[in-house]
Amino acid sequence: MGFFGKLKEGLSKTRSGFVDRISNLVSGKREFDEDFFEELEEILVQGDVGVNTALELVDRLRDAVKEQKIKETERLYQVLEQSIVEMLGEDQPLNVGAKPSVIMVVGVNGAGKTTTIGKLAHQFKDQGKRVIIAAGDTFRAAAIDQLEVWANRVGTQIIKHQEGSDPAAVAFDAIQAARSRNADVVIIDTAGRLQNKTNLMKELQKVHRVINREDPAAPHEVLLVLDATTGQNAISQAKVFKEAVGVTGIALTKLDGTAKGGVVLGIANELKIPVKLIGVGEGVEDLRPFDAEEFARALFAREED
């Protein structure tokens, strides 16, 4: 199945929600009046897009309808998609050109960091890259074991310390190991933390600092793993993690439910952090590069597309 198909399948629940409602909204209505725009706002808000961003999108659409005298549903979709794509910004692939490329993975508790790392490692491995993963979540019970299961499954090396040890030391060792073992990619797991825990954010900054001291170009990527079911708090997460460790991209996980992940629109719009990966299923191959256009199209495409 192609990427688009997989994404569509993953988003099908989302899509049927969005699209059915927009279709229903449009059919039987000749004009796009205020009621229409209000209901559109409602649909967007229900997709966790957030009130402010939803209003902005609706305003854009309203202007476009007026200026271009849009009458057809088809055209309206196009404009809506276009606006969303614009908001999401240009697609940016993972920056893994350097050797070794260091990817630091951060996020709140339960976002899916460890699983994302497992899948990511698997994909790098398939590309013929040598991967080292670092078990930097030394806090949560059995987090190291969980990552180790993934390492064994994927067949990649893992650097680990004891539970409760210093995560910065694990990162340091991982980079050293990557150099001596000639690895291409180092993926560093970190413990989940809520962004308002100052001490824990400081700990994360230390990990970042240690990585950066070892290699001034590293970390090449700081991925914020975001659960697609998260609401507007995701904006706060993105903001604080960005300030603390310079998040370079978002991995949006658990898009395979009815969750819409609309909050990434707000994040891209307000904080200019691009989405780089999306998780559309439980399988290893279900972690995908993000494609704004297809994301928007899949969100709004109708059944026969």
Partner 1 sequence: MALFAGLAEKLQGTFQKLKGKGKLSEADVKKAMREVRLALLEADVNYKVVKDFVSKVQERAVGQEVLKSLTPAQQVIKIVNEELTNLMGGEQSKIKIASKPPTVIMLVGLQGAGKTTTAGKLANVLRKQGRRPLLVAGDIYRPAAIKQLQVLGEQLDLPVFSLGDKQSPVNIARAAVEHAKNHGNDMVIIDTAGRLHVDEELMQELSDIKENVEPDEILLVVDAMTGQDAVNVAQTFNEQLGLTGVILTKLDGDTRGGAALSVKAVTGCPIKYAGVGEKLDALEPFHPDRMAGRILGMGDVLSLIEKAQDSFDEEKAKQLEKKIRQQQFTLEDFLEQLQQMKSLGPMEEILSLLPGMGNVKQLKNLQVDEKELVRTEAIIQSMTPEERRRPEIINGSRKKRIAAGSGTRVQDVNKLLKQFNQAKKLMRQLAGDQSKLAKRMSKKRKKSGFGLPFFR
Count of residues that interact with partner 1, criterion CB under 8 A: 45
| 136 touches partner 1 by CB under 8 A | no
Instruction: Convert residues 21-50 into a mask of x (bound to partner 1 by CB under 8 A) and - (unbound).
Output: ---------------------x--xxxx-x
| 139 touches partner 1 by CB under 8 A | yes
CA 209, CA 64: separation in Å to the nearest integer? 47
CA 268, CA 140: separation in Å to the nearest integer? 30
Placement of tokens 């202007």 in the chain: 63
Query: What are the structure tokens assigned to 109, written together?
Result: 């508790």
User: Footprint of partner 1 on residues 100-129 (CB under 8 A)?
Assistant: 108-112
249 phi, psi to nearest 5 deg: -170, 165
Helix axes 263-271 and 51-68, enclosed angle (nearest 10)? 80
Instruction: Convert residues 227-266 into a mask of x (bound to partner 1 by CB under 8 A) and - (unbound).
Output: x-xxxxxx-x-----------------x-xxxxx--x---
114 phi, psi to nearest 5 deg: -60, -45
Q: List all residues 6 or more positions away from 190 whose beta carbon is below 8 Å from its beta carbon.
A: 104, 105, 106, 113, 136, 137, 167, 204, 207
Query: Which part of the chain contacts partner 1 (CB under 8 A), choosing from 26-34, 59-67, 191-199, 203-211?
Result: 191-199
Which CB atom, from 100 or from 262, has the smaller least distance to partner 1? 262
Give the binding site for partner 1 (CB under 8 A). 13, 42, 45-48, 50-51, 108-112, 139-143, 145-146, 148-150, 153, 163, 194-197, 227, 229-234, 236, 254, 256-260, 263, 282
